[in-house]
A = this chain, B = another copy of it.
Amino acid sequence: MTTMNTRTGRDGWAAGTRVYFENRRGRLPAYTITEELVREALRDAPQPLTLTVRYADEPDFAALAEAEFFMGSGFDTRRLADHAPRLRIVHCTSAGVDQYLPLDWLPAGAVLTNSSGIHAEKGGEFGLLALLMLNDRIPEHATNQRRHRWHRTLSSPIRGKTVLIHGVGALGGAIAEKAKLLGLQVLGTRRSGAPHPYVDRMHGPGDLRRLLPEADFLVVSCPVTAETRGSIGAAEIALLRPEAGLVNVSRASVVDYAALADALRGGRLAGAVLDVFEQEPLPPEAPWWDVPNLLVIPHVSSDNPEDYVRRSVALLAENIGHLVAGRPLRNVVDPVRGY
């Protein structure tokens, strides 16, 4: 892909502020930022923009040097620190930003924005799917299928059961909304402890241990921060009911997978659905593939291939508009909180 120097904005505007979009090789087509997508998303930009779309392994350092806006995924923060001094917004297409922390590489005056919220529809549906899978013992049935073993574990309807959502942000809130559709009781934790329309009882993170024994299902959907890393360890897993199930759509480091695997191997818990792993792709020799009642999902819970890039570019476009108009930006990552 070559550098584009496409002019955008209303007819007659001169080319101006540069926006730099970076792709990575080897990713699924759904993640490719195309010229067509960015041109469409930035059509109504409030000021003339010059667009550059490059692969990370073919950088355009001259364009980077003048870029005020950057969007990418899994990008090299060192490169931005060294070559992109004029950046004002660095936008990442993921919701999680743990790989970019600490933010000491950000050029002076620049902010990091994430794509929290664009994954909510798909992620909410996946959350509901995971709850239903745990309720209907799908991880157990899949384990038995591997062993050619017919074993009928019956389960009652999910209505009226309790889900605890550890970290109610955009994703956790979307899961709460879907859970209410099926009549679950929804408990939640978040830093602020502030109420949420689809959470029956919201708590601060300090109440987590007290809430765990109430849960039929534990959904881990918090950002990974110094506070949440390892927050679901052996002690927390032991506080879950023997028949409870666990879903992780956050980051692997929030949950102690070795402790979880021990519990599952010991016949505790109804099952686990894990969408995230320390090392991705998960290597063939990883132990998690064969843990009983554990379902390995290849990090697909929240990415809608039909609009992933489009919605992320739209978020950046919206923020460029806010910046030009002097309004507050959306989805700015707090360097101290880390999300």
Contact = CB atoms under 8 A, between A and B. Distances in A.
A28 B154 contact: yes
A283 to B, nearest CB: 8
Contacts of A299: 152
A17 interface: no
Nearest to A282: B150
Contacts of A300: 136-137, 141, 152-155
Interface stretch (A5-13, A62-70, A90-98, A121-129): A121-129
Interface string A279-321: 0111111100100000111111101111100000000000000
Given A141-B296, A298-B144, A154 B121 contact: no
A136 B132 contact: no
A322 interface: no
A48 to B, nearest CB: 34
A332 interface: no
A151 interface: yes
A117 B283 CA distance: 46
Contacts of A121: 157, 159
A181 interface: yes
Contacts of A142: 142, 145, 295
Contacts of A303: 154
Contacts of A283: 150
Contacts of A301: 136
A319 B274 CA distance: 48
Interface in A104-155: 121-122, 125-126, 128-129, 132-133, 135-138, 141-142, 144-146, 148-155
Contacts of A156: 122, 304-307
Contact of A129 (B129, B284, B295, B298): B129
Nearest to A140: B298
A182 interface: yes
Nearest to A142: B142
A30 interface: yes
A129 B122 contact: no
Contacts of A182: 125, 181
Nearest to A123: B157
B122 A128 contact: no
23 contacts: A125-B158, A125-B159, A125-B182, A128-B132, A129-B133, A129-B138, A133-B133, A141-B295, A141-B296, A141-B297, A142-B295, A148-B286, A149-B284, A150-B280, A150-B281, A150-B283, A152-B300, A153-B300, A154-B304, A155-B304, A156-B306, A156-B307, A157-B304
